[in-house]
Structure 1
Amino acid sequence: MSDKLDAALIVVNYNKLPYTRLCLESVLASAPTFAHIIAIDNGSTDGTRQWLEEDFPALAQARGVRVTVIANDSNVGACTARNQGLSVARERYIAFMDNDVCARTRRWLAFLAEALEASAGVGIAGPKLLFPFEPFCIEHAGVGISRSGRVKYLGRGEPRDAPGHQAARDVQALISACWLMKGEVPEQIGGLDEVFNPAQYEDLDFCYRARSRGWRIVYEPRAELYHFESVTTDGSPDVNYRYITIRNGLEFKRRWEHVFSREDGPADEECRWLALETRPIEVTGRPPMVD
C-alpha cells in the first residue's frame, strides 16, 4: 500500500489547540496517511485557526499531504462544519475524526480501508477507541441500541484486549469521533442532517440512513485510536448539551424506532451510561503510538 491512501480526513475544531495538534500530527505519523486533510475551524479564539493556516500546511507538505482549511467566523455546529468538509472531499474514502482523537496503531487507516474492501456492502468502518492513559481501557467498540432506543457504547470500560471485542463484526451504529467510509455513502445518502446541530445523534442517524440503503456498518478492532472524550463539545457555555441530547435522542427515536425496535440490540438494563474517569492532555501527555 502507498504511503498515502486516496482518502480525505475531515476534522472540525473549536479551540483546544493542544488536542488539534496532537490529532493531526498523529495522523501525519500514521502509515499510510491521508492524501487530503480538510480542517474546519469553527471560530476558534485560542490560536487554532492561525496554527491550521500558517503552521500545519508545512508539516503536511513534508508528507505530501494536501491541506484545505475552512475558517468559519462562528461555531456553526459539527453537522454543518462536517458537511462543509464533505462538499470539498473528492477522494475514494472519507474519514470523520474529532480533534480529541489521536492514533495508537500506526496502520489504523490501512486496517479500516481493508475492512471497507472486505465486502462490497460495507460502507462505514470504525476503530476500537481507547482512553488515552494506562491501562488503555476501551472507550467505544461500536454502538448498540436497545429495542426501546437506549444507547450503549459497546465494550466501554473493559480491558483493551477483552475477548468480546477482538474480532471484526457488524454493528448497529458507530460514533463519528472516528470512522472511515466509502465516498459513495455520502454521495448516495447526503451529509449529516443539520437538524441535529450542533451535535448528538447525528452520527447514529447517518448510520441508520446508510443501513436503510443497504450499507453495512462494521467495527474493526485492529485499528486502535485514543479518545479523550467530550473535549470537542466542552467549553461551549452557550450550548445546553443536556437539552440537545434529549431533543436529538427523541428525534432519532421518532425516525428509526420502526427499525431498532425489531433489532437484536442490547437489553435496556445494559444501556446505562457508564461514567468513567477521563484525563486531559495536560495530565496524559502524548499517549504512545505502536506499530
Structure 2
Amino acid sequence: MRFSLITLTYNKLPVTSRCLTAILRDTVCDAPWELIVVDNGSTDNSADWIEQHLIPYGAARNVTVRLLRNSENIGCSKARNQGIAAAIGEYLLFLDNDVTPRTRNWLQILLQEHLSDPTIAMVGPKMVYPLPNAPIQCAGVAISPQGRVCFRGRGSSNNDPTYTTPTDVQCLISACLLIPAHLIATHGGFDPVFHPVQFEDFDLCYRLREQGWRARYTPAAEMYHFESTTTQGTSAINNAAVVIRNGLTFKNRWQHMFATEAGPTDTECQWLKLPPLPPLADIPDPLPML
C-alpha cells in the first residue's frame, strides 16, 4: 500500500459526507491507497453513514475505506495515533474531514515534492477557500521569534507570486499533511498533551525539524478547506481556552528553536479577519477542479 489517508470525524455529518465523498470521487492516483476514518464518538449517525455508504462507495473505486469507532471523543492526537497504528501505507496522509481536492493528482504531487530531496520529511499543499477564484487559506505556517503563529498567505489571491513556488516552512497544518510512515515509527506520532486539539501538528513538525528534517510547502497541489468546520460549534471544546493552553505548551517546548529562526514579526502575524464562509448548502458541489 502506497498511501494511508487518515481522517477524524466527530458529528458534522453534512460536511463529512460531502468532503469524504469528494476525496474518493476526485482523487486520481495510480498507486494503491486506503482511507482510514476514526470516528470520535459521533452522536449524529456519522459512523453509520461511513459504514453503510462510504465504505461501499470506496470499494466501487478500488479504495479500501476502514472505520475505527471510539465510544467517546478522545481528542485529535490519540485518535490520529489510532489511525497510524492501523495504517499499512508507506506514506501517511493526515487529512481533516472538511478538506476536498482542487488538484486531482494531489497525492502524487505531494509525494514528488517529498522525493525531490532526501531531507524533506513533511509536505503540505496550498490550502484554499471554497470560494470563487480560490483565495489562499494556508500556504504553510510561520511563527514569530516570540511564538506568534500565522498562516502564510491567508486571504491572499491564489496567484500571489509569494506563494507560487515550493518553499521550506517552519510548520505545516495537519488538515493535509504527508509524512513517511517510517519517520512516525521512529519519532512518534502526535503528543496527547495537546488535548483535545490545536498545536499537535506544529509540535510534530518541530520534533522532526529538530532532528534535521524539513517541512515543505508545495503550491502545485491545491486543496479546498472549509476552515474550522471540524471544531466550530463543538460544545465539548472551549476553543479559545484550548488555543491559549496548548499554545503556551508549544511555546515553552519549542521557543529555543523559533526564537532563533527568521520568522515574521508579531505585527506580521496579526490574524486577518475574513468574512465567514457561506453556508455549506450554498457552496457548489462539486467545486471547480484544476
1: CA distance, partners of 2:201 / 2:209: 12
Which residue in 1 is equivalent to 2:89? Answer: 91
Report the Cα offset of residue 218 of structure 1. 0.2
Which residue in 2 is equivalent to 1:240? Answer: 238
2: CA distance, partners of 1:99 / 1:86: 16
Identity of aligned residues (%): 43
Q: For residues 138-157 of structure 1, give each alpha carbon's deviation from its aligned partner in whole angstroms, at most 9, with x where no partner exists.
A: 00000000000000100001
Q: Secondary structure at the match of 2:273?
A: coil
Q: Secondary structure at the match of 1:102?
A: strand
Structure 1, 60-69 or 6-15: larger mean CA deviation: 60-69
Give the letter for the 1:31 counterpart: V
Q: For residues 135-180 of structure 1, give each alpha carbon's deviation from its aligned partner in whole angstroms, at most 9, with x where no partner exists.
A: 3110000000000000010000100111000000100001111111
Which residue in 2 is equivalent to 1:24? Answer: 20
Q: Secondary structure at the match of 2:2?
A: strand
Listed as ranges, the gaps of 5+ residues in structure 1 are none
Matching residue within 150, 153, 167 for 1:152: 150
Which residue in 1 is equivalent to 2:182? Answer: 184
Q: Secondary structure at the match of 1:38?
A: strand
Give the letter for the 1:32 counterpart: C
2: CA distance, partners of 1:96 / 1:39: 11
2: CA distance, partners of 1:102 / 1:18: 14
Report the Cα offset of residue 275 of structure 1. 2.0
Report the Cα offset of residue 262 of structure 1. 0.3
Give the letter for the 2:253 counterpart: R
Q: Secondary structure at the match of 2:243?
A: helix
1: CA distance, partners of 2:29 / 2:273: 34
Equivalences for residues 12-51 of structure 1 within 5 A: 12-28=8-24, 29-32=26-29, 35-51=33-49
Equivalences for residues 109-128 of structure 1 within 5 A: 109-128=107-126
Which residue in 1 is equivalent to 2:172? Answer: 174
Structure 1, 191-200 or 56-65: larger mean CA deviation: 56-65
Which residue in 1 is equivalent to 2:266? Answer: 268
Number of aligned residue pairs: give it: 287
Report if aligned partners of 1:96, 1:178 keep a CA contact under 8 Å in 2.
yes
Listed as ranges, the gaps of 5+ residues in structure 2 are none
TM-score, L = length of structure 2: 0.96
Equivalences for residues 103-142 of structure 1 within 5 A: 103-142=101-140
Report if aligned partners of 1:6, 1:92 keep a CA contact under 8 Å in 2.
yes
Provide the aligned C-alpha RMSD in A. Answer: 1.3
Q: For residues 33-91 of structure 1, give each alpha carbon's deviation from its aligned partner in whole angstroms, at most 9, with x where no partner exists.
A: 76111001111122211111111111111121112100111111111111110111121
Which residue in 1 is equivalent to 2:4? Answer: 8
Report the Cα offset of residue 14 of structure 1. 0.7
Report the Cα offset of residue 289 of structure 1. 4.0
Q: Secondary structure at the match of 2:275?
A: coil
Q: Secondary structure at the match of 2:267?
A: helix
2: CA distance, partners of 1:98 / 1:286: 18
Which residue in 1 is equivalent to 2:285? Answer: 286
TM-score, L = length of structure 1: 0.95
Q: Secondary structure at the match of 1:125?
A: strand
Q: Secondary structure at the match of 1:126?
A: strand
2: CA distance, partners of 1:235 / 1:241: 9
2: CA distance, partners of 1:198 / 1:94: 21
Which residue in 2 is equivalent to 1:77? Answer: 75
